Amino acid sequence: MRSGLVAALLCASIATAQDHAAHGAAKTPRFALGSSAAVDGSGTIWAVHLDGGRVVVRQSAGVGQLWSAPVPLSAPEERIEADGDARPKIAVGGVNELYVTWTHPLAKPYTGEIRFVRSVDGGRTFSAPMTVHRDRQEITHRFDSVAVSQRGQVFVAWIDRRDAVLAKERGADYRGAAVYYAVSDDRGASFRGDFKVGDHSCECCRIAMRPRSDGGMDALWRHVFEPNVRDHALAVLEPDGAVTDLHRATFDDWRIDACPHHGPSLVADGAGTLHSVWFAQSSDDAGAFYGRLIDGKVEGQRKLGGGAAEHPDIAAAGNSVVVVWKEFDGNVTRLRAMTSDDRGAHWSERELGSTTDASGQPQLLQIGERFVVFWNTRADGLTLTGISR
């Protein structure tokens, strides 16, 4: 019974996401709830989402506080992807720096451009949108991710199909797509790139990026290992375009000729250990999982909730690690959390909220030593929920 429910939910998720992608030239769905949030140095929470068909930014002082009026960032006529992993993203840099990306779908199915705006005055004004990548073919440039390095350089990564197109022209086989990125040295005024991370990525899953102390960026994404295994790969992206230490990171051996639209998340604890959450369906089990990525293997892997758990996110501070996810039982979507105070050795689980209506993906925010869950639901809008430790 459970396996049947899991399979049905997974197929529905894939079908819905693929239908949305295939109609990229159509009008954005009315209730597209894809949204993202970030916290600046003063503790202010910034959120980007779709409002009236445009990407907008809002701010809030924290849990229990009102959101500001929306500030439009995209042009009224620009189509926007704002669903699932294809949602607007936001990152915070140094003093007064805000960086926002989104995917603009083009006329052909599965095609798009990665758009970017910035504010260097604390959100008082924003630049006009620009396209990040140099390649301007009408092909897939989608599922953007943005992060700021420890040196203040802005990294934007995305899923790209240029190499698959070339392979098709040569009559060669090509699995999936590729991951590319670009880097800005001048607070988003311009970008260097396009730098290829690796061939054979999954086509429709978000890319997780984590700033490293050496100025590089850890990147984790769903890869397509031969012949059709959709586990995850991990690599270090350097500011000069070099990619090092690319290796397989998860080992669920999920064999599927479809994209699940479930990207991973990645953080490091106070000791530098990498912790991740992801979605997988193996011959043994299916659902959302947590694990520590150490020396090319997964330690402490455990399942999150039941078989219908999906879209997890993770955060860490010192010895504390927190995971959130949502889980649909056929009637109610529940927001759940799992917390550890000993770097993932032991865990406690709790429910944070629920909705009977549509909802976006939950996201964990860290404000000092505190953790807050950002969640966009059709019934309640943008919500912030603190997690007690």
Distance of CA 236 to CAs 15, 192, 196, 199, 201, Å?
32, 17, 12, 15, 15
Q: How far apart are CA 160 and CA 95, in angstroms?
A: 32
Structure confidence at residue 357 (pLDDT): 96
Domain boundaries defined on the chain: 2-387
Structure confidence at residue 137 (pLDDT): 97
Identify whether 194 is preceded by a cis peptide bond (ω within 30 of 0): yes
| Structure-block tokens of residue 157 | 């990564």
Beta bridge partners of 92: 98
**CATH class of this structure's domain 2-387:** mainly beta
Q: How far apart are CA 87 and CA 360, in angstroms?
A: 10
pTM over 0.75? The answer is yes
Structure confidence at residue 281 (pLDDT): 87
Distance of CA 149 to CAs 37, 111, 114, 185, Å?
17, 28, 19, 10
End-to-end CA distance of the chain: 35
Give the list of residues 6+ apart from residue 108 with CB closer than 8 angstroms, or none. 24, 25, 138
Structure confidence at residue 31 (pLDDT): 56
* Cα angle value 298/302/305 (rounded, 5°): 150
Q: Which residues of the chain carry a pLDDT beneath 50?
A: 1-30
3-state secondary structure of 357: coil
Distance of CA 299 to CAs 2, 207, 280, Å?
26, 21, 16
